[in-house]
Amino acid sequence: MNRPLRVILLLVIKYVHCRLWPKGVVHYAINKKDYDIHSQDVIISTFTQLQKEICVKFFNSPANYTASEQDKILYVNNPYKSKNCPPKHYDYSKAIVEMPIGYKCIDEKEISRIVVDMLRASIEPSDSPINSYDLIKKFQEKKEDHTRLSLLTPADRNYINAHYHFECGALSQRPGLTSQDFGASLHLTRANLEYYENKLWPLGIVMYGIEGQLRNKPMFAFLKHAMASIELSTCVLFQEDSSDDVLTPRNLVWFGSEGEDMPNLGFMTGNQTVRLESMSQGAPGHTAHALNMLTRVLGVPMMSNRFDRDNYVAINWKRVEKGKEHYLEKAPMSAWLQQIPYDFTSATHAPANYLCGSCTETSPYTVEPVQDHLWQKTLSMGHRTDLSDSDRHLINILYGRECQIRFLSKH
């Protein structure tokens, strides 16, 4: 009875795999009747330019190249003599993938946009035309457009390279870039060191205090539980400041009935007062909330704020609580440790309803995975009660030196 289903599944899997250009190579042909010599040159030189930014390669195919379903060919033409280049649906089920370029689009920028749409269509099993212009996000716009000399936005570049990583790798097995090597190199780059320098708590000890009347509240027990969970799997300690001497200058996080909603990202001098309630309770279902707040105290930016997160999640900015948008802004690239993979299961990954200001039953999400057909990621993000492997790994790498100093000073 299961047979037909299995066959369908296999077909689906195969279909999805076949969409990417095999080995990251696009064989193309240009219809010479549709474009003059100069236009052909512009198209070819744009392809060459793009090869410098993405791992996909473009090969001009000989006229007698026989395309098949496996060895597809990209056919650049303009059968209807169009001027413009509206978003288009790309059909990857055929041996020939048509990519029309209108006469008015014969320039590097426009051709790049069309190529990005074509490549995105090879990645995303979607039936609707994809217009990369729609994908430019609120916070990226300013930063990117002025400083860039390249043809692609960093977001497009990262997205394509991330999804073509394995296909491209099949062509050029570069030695020394295996995933094992990434895992083994524990050291931080200079950029990492600069980014985290002022965020780490000395000796890996977070000092905190608690308002007397809150000590016996379940909220505090909950927070202590999260602290214990971090202590058990990392070298970091949370230590209550019990000194009575008001004259000694102290750096601590104070949990009060009033105070900031969010702790500082990383170490801060002086008495930083945070509201206990907002430390321990987050959005409905966000069980990792307290862990996420404490890792924020440790100086760890959220996984879902990673500089390249647009490859993994989309933010519905309109639904984000007013005035809280900056908590969803991307961290700089220097915050990223190469050996840590993007991890939807991280305790620091935002839940789908994170900071949701105007969420309704029909549109309940602020943070949505880019591809999540069975809702697994959407439903599990932020819903854990301990650190993930990559969280542990990350915190131990960041605090390795501080903890070492602590251990050495004891003996």
Ligand X SMILES: *[C@@H]1O[C@H](CO)[C@@H](O)[C@H](O)[C@H]1NC(C)=O
Binding site for ligand X (CB under 6 A): 62, 64, 209, 250, 254, 256, 271, 273
Residue with smaller CB distance to ligand X, 62 or 323: 62
Q: How far apart are CA 73 and CA 89, in angstroms?
A: 16
Residue with smaller CB distance to ligand X, 238 or 254: 254
CB of 209 to ligand X, least distance (A): 5
Q: How far apart are CA 210 and CA 221, in angstroms?
A: 12
CB of 205 to ligand X, least distance (A): 16
Q: How far apart are CA 363 and CA 57, in angstroms?
A: 40
CB of 258 to ligand X, least distance (A): 7
N-term to C-term CA, the chain: 68
Residue with smaller CB distance to ligand X, 107 or 261: 261
Residue with smaller CB distance to ligand X, 159 or 254: 254
Residue with smaller CB distance to ligand X, 209 or 400: 209
CB of 215 to ligand X, least distance (A): 13
CB of 271 to ligand X, least distance (A): 4
Residue with smaller CB distance to ligand X, 32 or 138: 32
CB of 254 to ligand X, least distance (A): 4
Q: How far apart are CA 74 and CA 178, in angstroms?
A: 31
Q: ∠ at Cα 327 (325, 328), nearest 5°?
A: 70
Q: ∠ at Cα 388 (384, 393), nearest 5°?
A: 155
CB of 112 to ligand X, least distance (A): 30
Residue with smaller CB distance to ligand X, 179 or 213: 213
Q: Do 278 and 262 touch, CB atoms closer than 8 A? A: yes
**Burial level of 85, CB count in 10 A (0-12/13-18/19+)?**
buried
Helices 154-171 and 140-147 sit at what angle, rounded to 10 degrees?
70
Which amino acid does the sequence have at 5?
L
CB of 403 to ligand X, least distance (A): 25
Residue with smaller CB distance to ligand X, 4 or 62: 62
Residue with smaller CB distance to ligand X, 137 or 224: 224
CB of 43 to ligand X, least distance (A): 21
